[in-house]
A = this chain, B = another copy of it.
Amino acid sequence: MHRATGSHLAAALFEPRSVALVGASADHTKASSRPLGFLRRSGFAGTVYPVNARRRSIGDEPVWPSVTELPEIPDHVFLMTPTAATVDAVEECGRLGVPVVTVLAGGFAESGPDGVRRQQELAAAARRHGTRVLGPSSLGLVNTRNGLTLTANAAFAEPGLQSGGTFVASHSGSMIGALLSRGIAGGVAFSHLVSVGGEVDLGIGEICAASLDDPAVTGYLLFLENLRHADGLRAFATAAARRGRPVLAYKLGRSRAAATLAVSHTGALAGEDDVAAAFLADCGIARAHTLDGLIEGLTLLGRTPVKPLAAARVGVVTTTGGGAAMVADQLGVRGITVAGPSAATLEKLPGVAPGAVVDLTLAGTRYEVMSSALDVMLGCGEYDLVIAVVGSSARHQPEVAVRPIVDRASRTALAAFLVPHAPEALAALTEAGVPAFRTPESCADAVVAAFGRGAPRDLRPVPAPAATVALDEAESYRLLASKGVPVAPHVVTEVDDPDCAGLTFPVAVKALSAELAHKSDVGGVVLNVVAPGDVRVAARSVRTAVSARAGLTVARVLVQSMARGLGEVLVGYRVDPDVGPVVLVAAGGVLTEVYADRSLRMAPVDLATAHQMLDEIRSIGSLRGHRGAVQGDLEALAALVVAVSRLAEDDTVAEAEINPVLVRPAGHGVVALDAVVRLREERKP
């Protein structure tokens, strides 16, 4: 059988003509009883086959003993059997040629060695027959337009589900229910909700991509627990951007970042969450950091230009001082300074005092006042986004200050924050298409996500290395130099008969061995050797020390001219097992470890991005020549970052770390003073 992809997959997933509910129960306390009831109540027009070998009927519905005995091959099987029976059941579906099987059972890769084995068997069964599998641990999926409420999630018991444009995909099955109820309360209407589960076959990206040809879908909300199917997610995000559909994600795992920060030659260059942030940004996927921001923020994406937060021109007009101050404060914490109107614009706003916020309190909360203030602010050309903040009237008299916003819903540079509990007004704004927020935190969260959203890049997938092997320092320099990285002058020479012709002194004498990861720690480096005649003594002391402390025999040393500069940074590269090649710049030494002062991107990067990365490193401020200090050669540093990032174009390299890169005064370049490169083991030259 052909594996269903593209429109065939979309049809079997979202528009099946027939579905089988294997393991359907008559016991209403069981989750496996729910899909049949949901499908009947939501009026699904396709054929539904309850399957259960142990009963003949459920209510007045006939029940079939097995999938094999059904009168037709169903388009989609929802498998609700126990974990142990799953692989055999998928085998059966596969043999019959069922295009898609959704697996409810858990107990696979997430639950220890037995589960991992089961997941491998499940994957093999699916692959063997070409059957596509959603799950395991999937609570199913819902298409609100055709009544396909094919889910065991109790949240869908609710009647009156409105159909809309928001597609939800979540690794967590319970979250599709939470997003449903919270979305509905806020006026968000959904097209599909998919519980993605354990992704044994169908990844979250491929699932979302299957809906791209559906014109009813206007945007995507993702609840992510991991980035294991990163390539599929990138392909989907790229295609979504091409169609102008926004994608907003909430990604678990922020807190681990703090704990796992580690910069060393081991290749653990940055925390997990840094990598996730870089990957999502590189895919053009906006990221919400609050639950409300996820639910409320989607419509704001694409309404603002993409620009650095410090350059975002955000105005606030308000009927309440305190409420506006909360939004301005939260935006300030996140890096956006609210800007007051120009003097010329202020003149068009009668009764408004100068200040960061256009406060209509004195002018009075009336339809005309808010309307004309909005028109002035939206028309003055001074704002990328105008946030209207509405106080108590939003709850009691939506006609006076909420209605003017609704009436300008077609103006894309407009959003709203309602200060009181005003669920009806909030839903009315959202339904009209105005991004509307119930807390200052979710408002600021979404605004930051909207301005910070990039365009996706169509990067070539680079598989993670299975194993790696280190080059020695000289080999590392040779490879890096061939990529355009300037390295300090050096020679490789014998310990007992060193030849340092051509080197400028003083020099550093370093043990040369690919097996020696931390040579300084074992006496493998002697610095400040001032004359050629002293090199042999230094080289022998290095050999003795490394032999005694690391048990390694050093035959050769690398002798390197010492250099001075204004500062040092670390530049690293590695292929992340999930998301692929990343490049990192860090402050170096204690600053990186103590202050997490670093910047990370998917590799390769261009020169403009490299400069952005340098801008993000706080300690690099000291190299900008402020207060009469000498300016560092940041042009050369950015060029080096680009060169290192382009290791992503070389399939032999798995990791590289240059630590330190010495930054000299502007015009005098940068230079690598130590480096280690690791190759993929399978391709070592």
Contact = CB atoms under 8 A, between A and B. Distances in A.
Nearest to A255: B332
A58 interface: no
Contact of A154 (B353, B393, B621): B393
Contact of A111 (B154, B323, B353, B590): B353
A290 B393 contact: no
Contact of A291 (B174, B440, B595, B622): B440
Nearest to A391: B174
B421 A182 contact: yes
Closest A-B pairs by Cβ, 4 of them: A255-B332, A172-B322, A174-B320, A181-B421
Given A353-B111, A391-B174, A396-B158, A420 B181 contact: yes
A444 to B, nearest CB: 10
A481 interface: no
Interface string A296-329: 0000000000000000000000011111011011
A319 B106 CA distance: 15
A170 B322 contact: yes
A467 interface: no
B182 A225 contact: no
A469 interface: no
Contacts of A441: 290-292, 441
Interface string A341-380: 0000000000001000000011000000000000000000
Contacts of A111: 353
Interface in A588-611: 590-591, 594-595, 597
Interface of A: 106, 111, 153-155, 157-158, 170-175, 177-178, 180-182, 184-185, 223, 225, 252-256, 258-259, 290-292, 319-323, 325-326, 328-333, 353, 361-362, 391-393, 395-397, 419-422, 439-441, 590-591, 594-595, 597, 618-619, 621-622
A118 to B, nearest CB: 15
14 contacts: A111-B353, A153-B392, A155-B396, A170-B322, A172-B321, A173-B322, A174-B320, A180-B420, A223-B322, A253-B329, A255-B332, A291-B326, A594-B618, A595-B595
A182 B333 contact: no
Nearest to A620: B594
Given A154-B392, A594-B619, A320 B172 contact: yes
Contacts of A182: 420-421
A431 to B, nearest CB: 16
Contacts of A594: 597, 618-619, 621-622
A447 to B, nearest CB: 13
B290 A419 contact: no
Contacts of A106: 361-362
A155 B323 CA distance: 14
A515 to B, nearest CB: 22
A393 B153 CA distance: 10
A255 B155 contact: no
A387 to B, nearest CB: 15
Contacts of A253: 329
A328 B330 CA distance: 23
A338 to B, nearest CB: 9
